Chain A
Amino acid sequence: MLAQQDAFEAERNARMVKAVYVYEAPLRLWHWINALAITLLAITGYFIGKPLPSLAGDTSTQYLMGWIRFIHFAAAYVFAIGFLGRIYWAIVGNHHARQIFLLPIFNARWWSEVFYELRWYLFMVREPKKYVGHNPLAQLMMFLFFTIGAVYMILTGFALYGEGLGEGSWADTMFGWVIAALGGNSLQVHNMHRLGMWVTLCFVIVHIYAAIREDIMSRQSLISTMISGWRMFKD
């Protein structure tokens, strides 16, 4: 829909529209499933730390906290397995799929483009550059806040999950070391995991804002690209 609008608008302005296929179907599917999982994780996670008002009535008929935790854990599985799938896609997918995992940090030109983008966001340059994939600044942010953040949340989250599954469970065996490595105090790991949620929320705010803004300002499609896969250049 949006892509069509973009196209119409471009046509109306009688400019050449160039389109490039950027995001392949599995990647787009992952993006939206992942977005849903994060939303559910953040909401349920918030209420795990600060539960809803107490329920009255027969205890055996209520399972509110149980359901909230169940949704949190189920969404966590979706998020974590999705992340593994995303890593797989980074290997077999096109080169855009690798962007959020590999930063060309030894490439001086890439860094200069990061600073160019930074100046663009600080209103210091007038014309935005166009990129087929992520712009370098976006790529850097994605890597720092999403990729690192996801690994951090998966490690701490499944370590805490392993506490419930118990000593010797798969989650305890695979992730239990995380709690010990972070000092061995489970309460502290809970707090750190909760901070991770707030960092993710900050990322989401910036991510959505930047996507909408760039869609309008840099004369290329962003939001529709994550739906159709095609990047439209509007002039």
Chain B
Amino acid sequence: MTETFYDVLRRQGITRRSFLKFCSLTATSLGLGSAAAPQIAHALETKPRTPVLWLHGLECTCCSESFIRSAHPLTKDVVLSMLSLDYDDTLMAAAGHQAEAILDEIRTKYKGNYILAVEGNPPLNEDGMFCLQGGRPFVEKLRETAADCKAIISWGSCASWGCVQAAKPNPTRATPVHKVITDKPIIKVPGCPPIAEVMTAVVTYMLTFERLPELDRMGRPKMFYGQRIHDKCYRRPHFDAGQFAEAWDDEGSRKGYCLYKMGCKGPTTYNACSTVRWNGGVSFPIQSGHGCIGCSEDGFWDKGGFYDRVTDIKQFGIESNADKVGGTAAAVVGAGVAAHAAVTALARARNKTGIEVKQEEH
């Protein structure tokens, strides 16, 4: 019989008390209330572990780095054990053929019943030659392992949107997972990296309830990406009051006024930073005095400056923002109208005789 999660935890010396504390914390962080804690405990005690294959494509490993810092007591150990993380080429001890053999084993043994976690994305140019693993393009490995999986978790902005390697001109044609694998349920957990507790909570939810969390239109879990940073920002009262930092280190900046004018992307970024925060709830960018750069939004590298509110639009071939483009258009139209009016006045003055001549004809 396969070990349950609880068996694994006890085997690793985690006390029942710590285990129950974890269940309560998880229930709370998922917003389910204390009644869900026993349910989570029951699930972990009775369910066999779901194998997870964690692949790495083009990426920087910041997702893994974030993940292993999940800060609630013991969560790191608990989740790493919970997951039955059978394959993760950055973390696993095995290497070479031994490591690759695990992929085949899990695929056949747990056909249709394992979760595929993807960090990074496959580049498609030159038949995927920009990302080779074990002598094969990553995109092939991704397609193979995805074929028999139950669901895919797209970790981070790379897997979800493309991120920096897909920024213009995207020479390797780095492509987000959902554009390569189209026949599997995909849950996007964007961010560069995503918040550690968001990652562990998403995994816990999927293992506990054996289903995907509720997703928004873009395929992100609503419980963490349902609101913008701005909606829960502790500096929001300064925004509503019209109190802004106008320059770095000015009076407003020192007073902790809203960073909107400094280009904060909080109003257009869906993430849980302003509620869950980072490093065990210590802080998040805005709290540290810097605007949000919108790292969990699609194409955030290509949406103009991190320090402008009305950002540059590159679609026009030149770098210019809506106000410059629109202002120029309005000025051109205004000048055109003025010129037209002048010509009209001239023509009218000249035509006066013309009209009178015509009247005489009547």
Contact = CB atoms under 8 A, between A and B. Distances in A.
A176 to B, nearest CB: 6
Interface residues of A, number: 49
B243 A191 contact: no
A180 B217 contact: yes
Interface in A43-68: 49-56, 59-60, 62-66, 68
A209 B335 CA distance: 12
Contacts of B222: 167
A188 B303 contact: yes
A217 B347 CA distance: 10
B interface, size bucket: 35 or more
B326 A194 contact: yes
B341 A209 contact: yes
Contact of B299 (A49, A50, A126, A185): A185
Given A54-B242, A64-B241, A185-B268, A213 B323 contact: no
B243 A205 contact: no
Interface string B212-248: 0000111000100011100100000111111111100
A191 B311 contact: yes
Interface in A203-235: 205-206, 209, 213, 216-217
Consensus secondary structure, chain A interface = helix
Contacts of A63: 240-242
A185 B231 CA distance: 16
Contact of A191 (B242, B321, B337): B321
Nearest to A201: B330
B340 A209 contact: yes
Contacts of B333: 202, 205-206
A213 B268 contact: no
A78 to B, nearest CB: 22
B330 A198 contact: yes
Interface string A165-185: 011000000001101100111
Given A187-B294, A194-B326, 18 more contacts: A49-B310, A49-B322, A54-B252, A54-B261, A62-B242, A63-B240, A126-B354, A167-B222, A179-B217, A183-B299, A186-B270, A187-B265, A187-B268, A187-B297, A198-B329, A205-B330, A205-B333, A205-B337
B15 interface: no
Contacts of A51: 242, 244, 260-261
A110 to B, nearest CB: 24
A26 interface: no
Contacts of A179: 217
A191 B310 contact: yes
